[in-house]
Structure 1
């Protein structure tokens, strides 16, 4: 599952950074992923945008302005039709917003679970690296001790060779001086 990127892979187009979320991709949300649920969620998200708020403000201002100025008489003061429109909007907006929040909560939970699993994998890999580091350190200490011992043996042998060379040199020098 942890596939490394090859040199030919384009990380921009690659979704491997989502590999911990993939096990949850088959799960559908509580309200499903059908056309209605998706459109209802996008409509509920639109309710909180500045575009919606500005458009609604303009429509209400024009509505009230036209009726107060007497340009039209379809909804005179106290604007009962406008109140009915707001009530109808609220009756649909509240459930749609709750639907969007529930779907987002489901996505957040799934993402949180995948993130927790990812953190656990990282912690496990870190522990394995620490154990491996301890083993390698122990091996290095053993090798260093062996190297130290070999260096000591080499020194002892060099000193012994030097002593034997002097002894041989002295014997040869004495033989030359006798002859």
Structure 2
């Protein structure tokens, strides 16, 4: 019975058969039929679909792309260079003297690991954006269909009222 009502709504409101509906349209029409809310939070949907690696890449990107990380990393680099150029070199114990070959290796390794993790986070953000767009479409479609249904009801009420007025006019005309 519900599938028949959904097919009727699809034909009446969208002008296409239920077989031609995409997933979002079918979900919206099912929610209209059930009388339930269609709006969902995109962030909650994306979090429900994420796994441990997705959440980890988001955290690494959040830390690696912050001013706190940049400042702390600059302090560590400056400290490393100062330590190996002046302090330890004074005692002849510099473990990475200028041109800081070991420091360059560490920086290259960090960049090689951090770049793909940040790209994974960007891909996840793009997936979140696609989920948000899909949910926005469903919400907008539901609002549009509800407005169409209200127009149908108002039109029916106006026609019924006009029919009643016409009947009264006919009755008055027949009495005169």
Match of 1:115 in 2: 136
Distance 1:152 1:129, change over 3 A: same
TM-score normalised to structure 1 length: 0.63
What are the Cα deviations for residues 21-67 of structure 1, in whole angstroms up to 9, with x where unaligned? 88x679745xxx13x44223311221111111111111111112222
Match of 1:55 in 2: 72
Number of residue pairs aligned between Structure 1 and Structure 2: 139
CA RMSD of superposed structures (Å): 3.1
**Structure with higher RCO (Cα < 8 A, 6+ apart):** 2
What are the Cα deviations for residues 106-139 of structure 1, in whole angstroms up to 9, with x where unaligned? 1221221121122111111111111221221222
> 2: CA distance between counterparts of 1:20 and 1:146?
53
Distance 1:151 1:62, change over 3 A: farther
Unaligned runs of 5+ in 2: 1-30
Unaligned runs of 5+ in 1: 5-15, 157-179
Between structure 1 and structure 2, the one with the greater Rg is 1
Contact 2:63/2:69 (CA < 8 Å) preserved in 1?
yes
Query: Which structure: greater helix fraction?
Result: 2
Shift of 1:141: 2.2
